[in-house]
Structure 1
Amino acid sequence: MDGLKPNHSLNLDINAQRNFMKFYAKLGEKPPTTVRFFDRTEYYSIHGVDDTDLVSRIFYKTTAHIQTMSPDGDESDKLPYLTLSKNHFENVIRDLLLVKNYRVEVYTKKANSSDWKIEFRGSPGNLIQFEDLLFANKEVLVGNTIISLQIRMEGAQKKIGLVSVEQNDCLFLVTEFVDDDFFTELEATVVLLGPKECLLPKIDGEYAAIKTLMERNGVMVSQSKKYSGDKSDLIQDLNKLLRFAKGQQEDASTFTEIHMELAMDSLRAAINYLSLVSDPGNLGHYELKTLNLNRYVHLDAAAVSALNILPKPGTQISSPSFRWQSILGVLDQCRTAQGHRLMAQWVKQPLRSKEVLNDRHDVVQCLTESPTAMSSIHEDYLKRIPDILMLTKKLMRKKASIQDLFRIYQVILRAPRLISTLLALENNTVTNVICEPMKSTLGDLAGLKQMVEQVVDLEIVENGEYMVKASFDENLAEMKEKMDKLLEKMNKLLTKASQDLEIDKGQFVKLESVSHLGYHFRIALKDDSVLRKSKSYKVLDVIRGGVRFTSDKLTAYSQAFGEIREQYEEEQKSIVEEVIKVAKGYSAPLTSLNNQIAQLDCLVSFAVAAHNAPTPYVRPKMLDEGSGELTLKDVRHPCLELQENVTFISNDVEFKKDDCNMFIITGPNMGGKSTYIRSVGTAVLMAHVGSFVPCSQATISMVDSILGRVGASDNIIKGLSTFMVEMIETSGIIRTATEKSLVIIDELGRGTSTYEGCGIAWSIAEHLAKETKCFTLFATHFHEITNLAETCSTVRNCHMAALADDENFTLLFQVRAGVMQKSFGIQVARLANFPDSVVKMAQNVYHEFEDENVQKRTQKDEELINKIETAIDNLSSGNNVDINEGDLTKLVEQFKKDIQELDSEYFKAVLSTASD
């Protein structure tokens, strides 16, 4: 991009510059997340310091191309600007809306007018006005979801009404729930839905806290306008937008969801913000459903980050070089756009339904056991299926062409062969879950298939032409006859050309047509010299595929053919409009077919990922929630094992209710503690989305939540320290975890004093082990916490093995029973090639602190022992017969305090027993 230069400059006279600058000043301040573009017909301009700097860095990777508008030559009165060609504008818009989460405004003005007006508005959750630009020639691999919510205080509790508008799937999901002061349930819902944008009625009070939460999760926040209408207005809008089933009363007021008053207020705000009713393509196509949050495993943002579930924004997960960077990248081997979208949804929505997961596992197992069929479906059938959802949306908006209709027809035509391949597997689950629903949908689409065969000229499709059959209309038949005669004459000229040039017709001289040249001849590059000798032919251009040329007669015939072709297309427009209108009525079964193809693509993708892994994945045995067993043999991390030159060392984990529910893991830095606990969390997540898992054997009790706190760091933008980030994430774990949960915690307690950090980590570990009793993997450098295993029978200590002597240090990456007796920080520093002098100094300081600590401890213990002996003597002395009860109580309390300071586990136990 560095070599790119703007194609245009603003060639405005002094008055035009002054007028524009006055207009721009009147626009006033705008949010920093909004970028304004000005359509100047041949190109676009961007103005202002912030916008020009942002766009130039996005596209040109430098600010060198920014120019300045200064009509009066006054340095204090100037306006920076940047220009973009139309192609460059599209790329920048795509990046701003889909990757960087900015709002976009495009201003235009009519000819002979100086008034600029907003023509288009867009935001990450509202792409309606930019869909044609963003997705005309590209697959839609990302979701387009916007949420709207409102809060109402009910006593001391917060009730939240939320709606999710999934514009790709034309779906309203509504829910209401009670949340705590930290909005724990709301954050899990945001993770579940993955919205691009959130609408709030205002940005203050409780909503300010929600705004912070949304931004922490990468969701843009917008304020919705106040709406003066009542419930009846919403009912009217829904009656227009909703798709009612056959025989169903077409009245939205009959839906049970209407009684969720808070959610309905949120829905009204979303419908108005998106202007859904004003777009005819939306009418009669939306569904209204209740979002059941209990259907999914609870995931918070910390767990999503800890397990690397999603790739970093802007990462192309389809590229093999990026697959290993996230769980989505590992599992997403999909071949269709609809499959990619559904896979991104599935990994964020692990299920709590054992029946559904068993069905998914059945299908994946069947496919992995039939690699030939799996490969055929993956490489041949699915690879050829277009994005049915986007084609359906074009039908709904009456923007579809005959070519779009033909692409839908091809899917309907190929689907029976796909079903036959699946039925041949003779698997009941495959038949019931995939084949039968798809066969039923194809039956509903039989009329559409028949209509395409009657209307579209399928014979000329192979030539890249999409026309209505000439037999459909007398005028079309007449024009078709003329075109056929012209084509016959052009073929005769082809024969003559091959004779003139003495080159074989068909094989070496060909008659072809492209849009900007019309009909022409083409020969191979090696025959160029023969062509140049003939004065009867004119060279048009030279391409890699050969030399294009024509003759006077061929040019005349081609022009005549093109003119008739234009008349033909104009004549068939009314027919095409009627056909599209009829095809629009098939949007419901087309949407069903799209979803069925997406589901199959995801399940095949799971099978491909399991089969092609360095060590094939295995099917997990899923137990009911609360069964209290989690056993993973030889568990591996699916991302790490995909990296080149990495040999992964697998490990085991075994939890059983009332026997063991917590591992406290110690070991050196870089020893594999984090990788081990993430491997377990990742395997459990993969099992709950329907995938096989990277183990040799897996038995997994269904969990209600996967909670994590791994690798916190400063969040400078939000003003949060490492320690504060840790505390926020861990407080969420404590509030949410139940005995059915899986919790992974790594290095808790950093960022404050050692003793405070250790105290916090101990208390949390003890709470999870004794009170919550959930599956917990607790990695720590606080060796004191391993003493918890002595007082809690369900806690086990283990460590990451390492070998060390004076010269060598070897990390084994193996989990072994027991406590790691020594820390190896200095050895790791030596591995990082620290200078020898620094390592020696570190070693000396370490020994000094260690000796000093031991000496202080010994001195303090001696002093306390002397005090305790004196106290015992005083208490047992006959001289204290007359001591009063108050003084005796004080003496005993001081005695207990001195013993506690001694830090003796024996005396602590004695005191604890005495107090009981």
Structure 2
Amino acid sequence: MITETPMMRQYNEIKRQHKDALLFFRMGDFYELFFEDAKLASKVLGITLTARSKGESAIPMAGVPHHAAETYIRRLIKAGLKVAICDQLQDPDEAKGIVDRGVTRIITPGTVTEDSLLEDKSNNYLMAILNTGNLLGLSWIDLSTGQFEVEDIIRERLFDEFARLNPSEVLLPEETVRNNMSFMEKIRVECKVMITSRPDWEFSVDTAYQTLAAHFGTTSLEGFGCETIGPALGAAGAVIHYLKETQKTSLRHIIKIQHHQINNRVLMDRATQQSLELTQTIRNGDREGSLLGVLDQTRTPMGGRLLRDWVISPLRVSADIKHRQIGIKELFENATLRREIREILGDIYDIERISTKISCGRANARDLVSLKQSLLKLPALKEKLAFCIADILVFLEQQLDVLEEVRVLIGTAIVPDPPPTIKEGGLIREGYDASLDELRYMSKNGKSWIANFQAEEITRTGINSLKVGYNKVFGYYIEITNVHKDNIPQTYIRKQTIKNAERFITPELKEYETKVLTADERAKDMEYDLFLQIREQVSSFTARLQRTSESIAVIDALSTLANLAAENRYVMPEITDDLELKILDGRHPVLDRRLGVESFVPNDIHLDGIRDTVMVITGPNMAGKSTYIRQVALLVLMAQMGSFIPAKEAVIGTVDRIFTRVGASDELSRGQSTFMVEMNETANILNNATERSLIILDEVGRGTSTFDGVSIAWAITEYLYQRIHARTLFATHYHELTELALLFPGIRNFNIAVREWGEEIVFLRKIVEGGTDKSYGIHVARLAGIPKEIIQRARMILNNLEAATLDVNGKPKFAPLKAAQEKKQPKQLKLFASREDMIIEEIRKLDISRMAPLDALNKLDELKKKLEIYES
């Protein structure tokens, strides 16, 4: 039987309150973990698993040094675990028994604020979801910045928002976790995110309203535009409850809640965000190689986070886009101003996250110095913007608060190069506090005071052998040999007799002893108290710091896009409310940077959105069809960010949504084949696209049999043209679809130019008008190294297949040319050989030379009558 010691009893009581977290239990200079926590931590962290006690009473145990705890916590959080920090709440020297301990903070993936646990240029979101059926309430917060938003969405958009926000942790009501396991598991598996269940009452909309109003100190939420929010309000309440429980500190840096508006943003579903590789590549999930990886030359972390938001949520309203554009244009045209602004920005730290750490009481002196150094740069930045004329730049200059009082306070109080800890002294400038200066003087100059005291006493007493000494038992003392005992002043107090001498003290010496011996510790304590006061003073400026940080982020993002345009020969697109999409010499923004402007082959696009709405693009693998259609989508997206784009000229009629259906992937965990995923994504487009949407399709129908695939692709293209009227680019190997252009005037054929020399082919990467009837798949297979024997056999099979699908004129049988020439009303044609074609083919193959004359005549007459019937 294990005997529970008082300390382990304390541990067990605290652990029972935090069962879902690893308990970091402070013992001296270490955080210790016990039982299952120790086993799990030793496995994840690779630290030694030891034991407390031996034999049957042995308790598994592992520990990490408290000064290095952040490093270990980072690894645990990345592994999707929670950590409860249990600190000593009193000085062990003052404890009469067990040291008081308590949990001071719970760190979870969605609530970290430490720099070492966060990505500089990415937000770290905690999300709460209230599931009310078809309508879901979403709320998300980045605790490190105070950004707090809410949104009611339909269920189908949930994973689109997950892709956009990429939350680290999701809060769900216990009822949902208990009774809707499929919903919970779908989130866990598809989004690879930690799920935390919370009491149902925390999601109550009524309770949430009161909780939020109390937090913001308001009587209503009308001022935040959240008065009419539905279930999202309940999710927001759950977020605040969770933060109060885990942070155990002030949340006053959360100064507002915003209603996320989708009517002024371009919507993109999860498949589109992934296939366009907006923030990370499909292959390995790296930022390098994504659109953001190319665009992000921001000089501050705040600017980097904002630019990411612009990439994944472009603007939809033309006036808003132009507002941004004009600011970028001014910085683009003024190279000196742009360079000077970017130089200043390069010396500004993450004011947004520093202000949060200050407000939460977690900032050290170095954070304050970083803030001061950042504020030092703001007057110069404000001065540079003062002469700008673009509305957005004028507004940013006005919003830029230099916070002079904060800079002066920190500069006056904190030393330029403080230590990382705040309890060991060395933080406060000399001259800031007279009492602290006196303590420091005592601590540093004790020996000189003793020497002066000794000299004064020798003069006063006339005893030249008098000396002042010190030991740990009696402290400071005056020692006088027995030879001079008759000259000892009456004010001396005998303390000790030793051989041939007496030791004495005086009230003055004792008073100074008390001051000197405790001066160092008292100075450290006073510095700590002063630092807390200074930090508290700075925290009162949190709202102003956040507004300034927001302005700096926008200035950074605008100057970055202007700099990209200048360095890479980008042009400012014309933004209109029409449906026209015209880009001359457009270049893929990522490949353009990789290959260089001189190496990348530019291409055009022109859809007026009224007469011409659909491009059917054919051509071989490796020729560049997918690159071209993605390029168009990325250029439109960049234009609606307000950015200039890599092109010679562009007119962009704004889009409300961008859809893509690209690539082949399965979702076996959901029991869905490649073709089912393809059809799900296509159905989403057909059900949600509007006339203002941009649709990018790549090889729709390839996941099934050829005839099935062609049939589906044909019907989808007709539907997009006739019903939705959206601007559509359809890249396909089904060159049979080129016949759609014969039936519908708004569908145009284009192909990627290829040149053939015998068996060799050269991809020219240039898109030209007209269809193609070759896919060159066998050529590509040969280039890939497929054995020659297989290539030869494939050519033979291809020739047979093509012969079987051509009509008497050598044309595909999918859309008879006659119908197009007669300009009949467009209609869905049969995709397979008609009875008429079969009769003509039978006549063509009839070998009369081997038949009796009468038999041949009868057979021809029979076929001729059948043909006349079908033609009539």
Q: State the partner residue of 1:726.
A: 678
Contact 1:660 1:796 in 2 (8 A): yes
Match of 1:636 among 587, 594, 600: 587
Q: 1:621 touches 1:700 (CA, 8 Å); kept in 2?
A: yes
Name the counterpart of 1:844: 796
* CA positional deviation for 1:746: 0.3
Residue identity over aligned pairs, in percent, reads: 27
Give the counterpart letter for 1:149 in structure 2: I
- 1:291-370 to 2 correspondences below 5 Å: 291-312=260-281, 323=288, 325-370=289-334
The root-mean-square deviation of aligned C-alpha atoms, in Å, is: 4.9
Conservation of the 8 A alpha-carbon contact between 1:271 and 1:277:
no
Specify the alignment match of 2:162 in structure 1: 190
Pairing partner for 1:124 from 91, 106, 109:
109
Indicate which of 503, 515, 533 corresponds to 1:578. Answer: 533
1:602 is aligned, of 554, 557, 572, to 557
CA drift of 1:723 comes to: 0.8
Does the aligned pair in 1 maintain the 2:581–2:653 contact within 8 Å? Answer: yes
| TM-score, normalised by the number of residues in structure 2 | 0.74
Distance 1:121 1:372 in 2: 48
Write the distance in 1 (CA, Å) between the matches of 2:653 and 2:229. 34
Q: CA deviation at 1:295?
A: 1.8
Q: CA deviation at 1:628?
A: 0.9
Question: Are 2:182 and 1:208 equivalent residues in the alignment?
Answer: yes
Describe the SS at the equivalent of 1:800. strand
Q: 1:581 to 1:90 in 2, by over 3 A?
A: closer
Q: Distance in 2 between matches of 1:681 and 1:854?
A: 35
8 Å Cα contact 2:202/2:241 also seen in 1: no
Q: Higher Cα Rg: structure 1 or 2?
A: 2
- In the alignment, structure 1 residue 670 sits paired with structure 2 residue 648: no
2:438 is the alignment partner of 1:478: yes
Q: 1:561 to 1:699 in 2, by over 3 A?
A: farther
Residue range with higher mean Cα deviation, 35-44 or 384-393:
35-44
What residue identity is the alignment partner of 1:586? F
Q: Which residue number in structure 2 is paired with residue 103 of structure 1? A: 81
Residues 753-776 of structure 1: per-residue CA shift (max 9 Å, x gap): 111111111111111111111111
1:359–1:710 distance in 2 versus 1, CA, 3 Å: same
- Structure 2 CA distance for partners of 1:430 and 1:105, relative to 1, 3 Å: closer
d(CA) in 2 for partners of 1:233, 1:854: 71
8 Å CA contact retained: 2:366, 2:418: no
Query: Which letter maps to 1:297?
Result: V
* CA distances 1:242-261 after superposition (whole Å, capped 9, x unpaired): 2x5xxxx5555886635534
- Aligned amino acid, residue 415 of structure 1: L
- In structure 2, runs of 5+ residues without a counterpart are 450-514, 814-831, 844-861
In structure 1, stretches of 5+ residues that fail to align are 1-12, 490-559, 870-894, 912-916
* Contact 1:211 1:221 (C-alpha < 8 Å) held by counterparts: no
- Alpha-carbon displacement from aligned partner over 1:537-567 (angstroms, at most 9, x marks no partner): xxxxxxxxxxxxxxxxxxxxxxx99997765
1:479 CA displacement = 4.6
Q: How far apart are residue 149 of structure 1 and its match? A: 2.5
Distance 2:210 2:833 in 1: 83
Per the alignment, residue 475 of structure 2 pairs with: none
Instruction: Verify the 8 A CA contact 1:55 1:92 in the aligned structure 2.
Output: no
Distance 2:68 2:443 in 1: 39
The residue that corresponds to 1:279 in the other structure is 248
Partner of 2:854: none
Question: C-alpha deviations, 1:387-414, integer Å up to 9, x for none?
Answer: 1122211221233344433332332222
User: 1:176 — aligned with what?
Assistant: 152
1:652-710: per-residue Cα shift (whole Å, max 9, x none)?
00010322111100000011000000000000111112221111111101110011111
Question: Does residue 1:147 correspond to 2:127, yes or no?
Answer: yes
Are 1:410 and 2:370 an aligned pair? no
Are positions 1:432 and 2:394 aligned together?
Answer: yes
Counterpart Cα distance in 1 of 2:669 and 2:52: 35
Match of 2:409 in 1: 451
Distance in 1 between the 2:320 and 2:202 partners? Answer: 44
SS of 1:350's partner is coil
Rounded to whole Å, the distance in 1 between the matches of 2:375 and 2:837 is 89
Contact 2:618/2:772 (<8 A) preserved: yes
Pair 1:122–1:279, CA change in 2 (3 A):
closer
- Equivalence for 1:3: none
Cα distance in 2 for residues equivalent to 1:738 and 1:728: 18
After superposition, the C-alpha distances for 1:624-657 in whole angstroms (9 at most, x for unaligned) are 2xx1111111111111122258921110000103
1:718 to partner: Cα distance: 3.5
Residues 255/385 of structure 1: CA separation in 2 closer, same or farther (3 Å cut): closer
**Could you tell me which residue of structure 2 aligns to residue 890 of structure 1?**
none
Is the CA contact 1:671–1:800 (under 8 Å) kept in the aligned structure 2? Answer: yes
With over 3 angstroms needed to count, the CA separation of the structure-2 counterparts of 1:258 and 1:850, relative to structure 1, is closer
Distance 2:683 2:178 in 1: 24
In structure 2, relative to structure 1, the CA distance for the partners of 1:681 and 1:675 (3 Å cut) is same
Does 2:839 match 1:865?
yes
Q: Secondary structure at the match of 2:132?
A: strand
The separation in 1 between residues aligned to 2:105 and 2:184, in whole angstroms, is 28
Q: Within 1, Cα distance between the matches of 2:150 and 2:753? A: 50
1:164 counterpart = 2:140: yes
Q: Are the equivalent residues in 1 in contact too, given 2:660–2:697 (CA < 8 A)?
A: yes
How far does the alpha carbon of each residue in 1:709-744 deviate from its partner, in whole angstroms, 9 at most, with x for none?
111312333332211111111111111110000010
Contact 2:53 2:59 in 1 (8 A): no
Change (3 A) 1:207 1:728: farther
Secondary structure in 1 matching 2:722: helix
Q: Note the C-alpha offset of 1:336.
A: 1.3
Query: Are the aligned partners of 1:148 and 1:198 in contact in 2 as well (CA < 8 Å)?
Result: yes
Q: Deviations over 1:357-416 (max 9, x none)?
A: 2222222222222223322322x2111111112221122123334443333233222211
Match in the other structure for 1:704:
656
Distance in 2 of aligned mates of 1:286 and 1:599: 20
Separation in 1 of the partners of 2:736 and 2:841?
27
Aligned partner of 1:829 in structure 2 is: 781
What per-residue deviation string (whole Å, max 9, x for no partner) do you get for residues 67-122 of structure 1? 89999999xxx999998777987556435645x6x233458799999x99998654
CA contact (8 A) 1:215 1:221 kept: no
For residues 273 and 543 of structure 2, what CA distance do their matches in structure 1 show? 34
